Structures are given as C-alpha cells and as structure tokens.
Amino acid sequence: MSLDGFIAGPNGEYDWFVMDPSVDFAVLYKEFDTVVMGRKTYEVSTAQGGHGAMPGLDVVVFSRTLPAATYPGVRVTNDDPGEIVRALKAKPGRDIWLFGGGSLFRSLLDAGLVDTVEVALVPVLLGAGVPVLPPGASTKLVLKDHKILPRTGILSLLYSVPGGVTPAPPIRYIKPPKASKPTRTKGSARKPARPKRRTSTRRPSGKRR
C-alpha cells in the first residue's frame, strides 16, 4: 500500500507499484495453497486474458454480481465469504492468502478469520484512492517482523491479529543482500576461508491461518 494507506489510486490504478528484485516470489508462493479475493481484484487479474489462475494455488473469488462459475484452478462463488473461509481454515493445508481487496478484508477481519496482516509499504503518497481497509471497527495489531528493502525504499511489515489460530511466521521471501567482494592490494596474501557454522530451525506445519 502507499504511505498514506491506499492499495490503488482513485480510478483503481496501480502503476505506482514497485517491483523490488529482493522479493523472492517463488518462496512467497510456497507459503500458500489457496488464494481468496474479491471481484474487483479478480477483474484486475483477468484484464490480460484468462480466468485469473495462479500456478500451484486454488483461487476462490467472492462476488455478488458475477455468476458462479468454475474454471481450471479458479472458483467464482456467490456464497458468504465467512462461511467459505471458515471451512477452508478447518481443512489441512498451507496458509490462505487474502489477496484482495479492501471490502473482503473488512468482512473477514470482522468475522475473526484474519490471523496475520502483512503489507509492503511503498514510499509514495497518492492523496486519494482505494483504502487498504474500509471504515469499521478498529483492530490492534502486534508487530512480529519487518524487512527494509534498500533498493526501492519499501518496508515490509508483518503483524499478528490477537486471537489468531497460529503465530505469524517470520518474513522469509526477502533475499539477503549480496556481500561485496573485498578488494585485494598488490602483494597481499589470501587466507583460506573458514567455513561458518549455521543453526537452522524448521517451523512445523500447523493450523491454517
């Protein structure tokens, strides 16, 4: 979203989005097996043709105006989003990605079905547009992780929603910066590299969030 809280411009434009090479989309997509979105987001995703399928993900589109339909990897439904998402969360699997938009975010948040909120804060001021969340009840969030992307000035923020079913995982999809090669002066000797010790932990899979 923009620095002043918008996810799209006044006419739905998103040409202000910045693609940062530090984002590893392959790692990001592996966190999820299901994507949910509203009609407006779906129409943006299908503007280039096709039915909005996302490789390796099941896409569920909620709409009150589009006819219910099923395409390869995509399901358009007129059913209540809360009931559908509640049923999805009860099944085993990876996390569910609330891809957009703001109205769907509001309805699922009010239903207590959002466990984490993660936003990429883009350094731009739009002045007007589509807010990240329509007016409604306030919700306090707890900061769990953050990453700064120096190339573009984007700030990735990860919050947990109190009462969520699982703790928020750390941000894993930001590539670490490449270390600069040390310069060698004439006549200097290079010492053999000493292997670094590494301790890694793997988070066990749990309930879907």
Which of 171, 80, 159, 61 has the alpha carbon at shortest distance from 115? Answer: 159
Q: How many residues are there in the chain?
A: 209
Taking only the tens place, the pLDDT of each residue in 59-103 is 999 999 999 999 999 999 999 999 999 999 999 999 999 997 889
Which of 166, 199, 177, 149 has the alpha carbon at shortest distance from 31? Answer: 166
pLDDT at 180 over 70: no
Using a pLDDT cut of 70, give the percent of the chain over it.
85
pLDDT at 114 over 90: yes
- What does the pLDDT read at residue 44? 85
pLDDT at 57 over 80: yes
Domain assignments of the chain as residue spans, ordered by start: 6-160
Amino acid at 79: D
pLDDT at 26 over 70: yes
- What does the pLDDT read at residue 126? 96
Q: Are strands 6-8 and 95-100 parallel, antiparallel or unpaired?
A: unpaired
Least confident of 30-34, 162-166, 183-187: 183-187
Using a pLDDT cut of 90, give the percent of the chain over it.
65
Residues in a beta bridge with 143: 159
- The class of domain 6-160 in CATH terms is alpha beta
Which of 135, 94, 107 has the alpha carbon at shortest distance from 5? Answer: 135
pLDDT at 192 over 70: no
DSSP-based helix, strand, coil % in the chain, nearest 5: 15, 25, 60
- pLDDT tier for residue 50 given thresholds of 50, 70 and 90: confident
| 38, 63 contact by CB (below 8 A) | yes
pLDDT at 24 over 70: yes
Which phi and psi (to 5°) does residue 67 adopt? Answer: -70, 145
